[in-house]
Structure 1
Amino acid sequence: MQHIQQAIESFIKAGDNSDIKLMEEILHKDYQNIQDGFFDQQGIFMISKEQYIEHIRNKTFGGKPRTISYDSIEEKGNIAIAKLTLESEVLRFSSTIVCVKENEKWEIITNIPVIEKK
């Protein structure tokens, strides 16, 4: 369970610190961010690893420290599902993060954030 939490916290810190190198390492090659709405736009948005990293690079996403509060982590073999709350000064994220273990390494394959302004 500790390795799963480390992977999740690396993902969160990479976003908070706009750390592209760490983000490249922690995201699975098939990563998807799935969210309902994109700032003022309505609808479901599917964001690939490459697009997500580009959003971090150009500061559309990330760059602000957040606290992490785990609601649950469920591990089933090489898949883990975590539910957590992240909070910055202005936003609250209720996220479901799916991790997979390949080649003895846990990576983030899916993030489903529900984002609300505080």
Structure 2
Amino acid sequence: MDKIRQTIEKFIKGGDTSDTGLLEEVLHPGYQNIQDGFFDQPGIFIIPKEKYIQLVRDKIFGGKPRTIIYHSLEQKNNIAYAEVSLESHALRFSSLITCVQENGEWKVITNVPSIEQK
């Protein structure tokens, strides 16, 4: 479970510090960010890895340190699920994060955030 936590925390740190290299390291090639709404645009948005990293690079996503609280973390063979709360000075996130293990390494494959203004 420690390696799963480390992967999740690298993912969060990569966004918080706009470290796209760290994101490249921890995101699975099939990564998707699935969210309900995109700022003021309603609807379901499915954002693949490269677009997500570009949004972080362009400072549209991330760049603000957040605290993390784990509500649950479960592993079923090579898949792990985490329910976390993240909070910055401006936003609160409730996220469902899925990780997969391939070739002995854990990678984040999906993030489903629910985002609210403080």
TM-score normalized by structure 2?
Answer: 0.99
Structure 2 distance, partners of 1:15, 1:53, is: 9
| Correspondence list, 1:82-97, <5 A | 82-97=82-97
1:104 maps to which residue?
104
Q: CA deviation at 1:54?
A: 0.3
Q: CA deviation at 1:73?
A: 0.3
1:18 maps to which residue?
18
The Cα offsets for residues 69-115 of structure 1, whole Å up to 9 and x where unpaired, read as 00000100000000000000010000000000001000000000000
The Cα offsets for residues 27-79 of structure 1, whole Å up to 9 and x where unpaired, read as 00000000000000000000000000000000000000000000000100000
1:116 maps to which residue?
116
Report the 3-state secondary structure (helix = DSSP H, G, I; strand = E; otherwise coil) of the residue aligned with 1:54.
Answer: helix
Q: Aligned AA for 2:7?
A: A
User: Aligned residues, how many?
Assistant: 118
Report the 3-state secondary structure (helix = DSSP H, G, I; strand = E; otherwise coil) of the residue aligned with 1:62.
Answer: coil
1:58 maps to which residue?
58
Report the 3-state secondary structure (helix = DSSP H, G, I; strand = E; otherwise coil) of the residue aligned with 2:62.
Answer: coil
Q: What value does the CA root-mean-square deviation take over the aligned residues? A: 0.3
Structure 2 distance, partners of 1:102, 1:25, is: 13
* Structure 1 unaligned regions, length at least 5: none
Name the % identity.
64
Q: Aligned AA for 1:103?
A: N
The Cα offsets for residues 10-37 of structure 1, whole Å up to 9 and x where unpaired, read as 0000000000111001000000000000
| Correspondence list, 1:41-52, <5 A | 41-52=41-52
1:73 maps to which residue?
73
